[in-house]
Amino acid sequence: MGQLLVIPSIDIKDGHTVRVVQGIPELECMQYGNDPVAMAMIWRAENAKCIHVVDFDAAREHSHKNFEIIEEICDSVIIPVQYGGGMHSLHDATQAINLGVYRLIIGSLIRDNEEEFIKILEKFGPQKICAAIDVVDNQVMIHGRKEKAGMTVDEYAKRLVELGVERIVVTDVNRNGMLSGPNLELSNRISKITGKRITLSGGIGDYKDLRYVTDHRNHGVDSVIIGRAMYENRFPCQKIWRVAESGIFS
């Protein structure tokens, strides 16, 4: 089994990062706390191999006001940037890819307009397009995690395979941002059902949690997205993503 890729998350709202790094004095100043581009460069300087960007404004209001920032992030780091938020159409996806984004994370559109999602997948291919499964109590959630998609996790996962998806970001919404430990059982189950590559998101609170995922994951679970724990400096050494990247971006 290959190494586990750690992907720092940058959440953007109104042009600013939602979280700031705590516990590291030189990173708590205003210029880092508010600037998503500076934050991306920090994670890259710490040797991150990939960055996950969530655009809250795009997700909630279908706004593209952060697109210049997304483009600047892509131009400022020499590592892949994966982007999620507000993909409603092939046009949206094309605009985002043209910013320099390596991979798009798409969620609600798959349930709202499956035909449009298929167009996106066919145009850009499964390396560039990743499906998101947001879960609350074994139900798939859409539209900002506020509505049920009307399918169980297993049903939805199987449908994604039928559509041609090769990578899935799995988030246990109840654990996201809570630092309470990851729901590895959920990611392992989806990995087993689909046979596809899985990125676990939500719940990682410290190095112990990361070690647990590394030791108990299925073969398909090859990466984790970490947000709050990174910003609260909960790792004894945050250069934990110095790992082999072979095969991760396929």
In sequence order, which ranges of 63-199 are alpha helices (DSSP H)?
A: 67-76, 90-98, 108-112, 114-124, 153-163, 184-194
* Assigned token pair, 235: 């790792």
Distance of alpha carbon 156 from alpha carbon 28, whole angstroms: 41
If you search the block for the tokens 């596809």, which residue do you land on?
196
On whether the CB atoms of residues 172 and 140 are closer than 8 A, the answer is: no
CA 123-126-127 angle, 5° bins: 105
Annotated catalytic residue within 57, 92, 134, 172:
134
Annotated catalytic residue within 11, 92, 172, 222:
11
Annotated catalytic residue 92: no
Distance of alpha carbon 248 from alpha carbon 67, whole angstroms: 26
DSSP E strands: which ranges in the chain? Answer: 5-13, 16-17, 51-55, 81-84, 103-106, 129-136, 139-142, 147-152, 167-172, 197-201, 221-226
Annotated catalytic residue 11: yes
| Phi and psi, residue 50, nearest 5° | -165, 150
Which residues are known to be catalytic? 11, 134
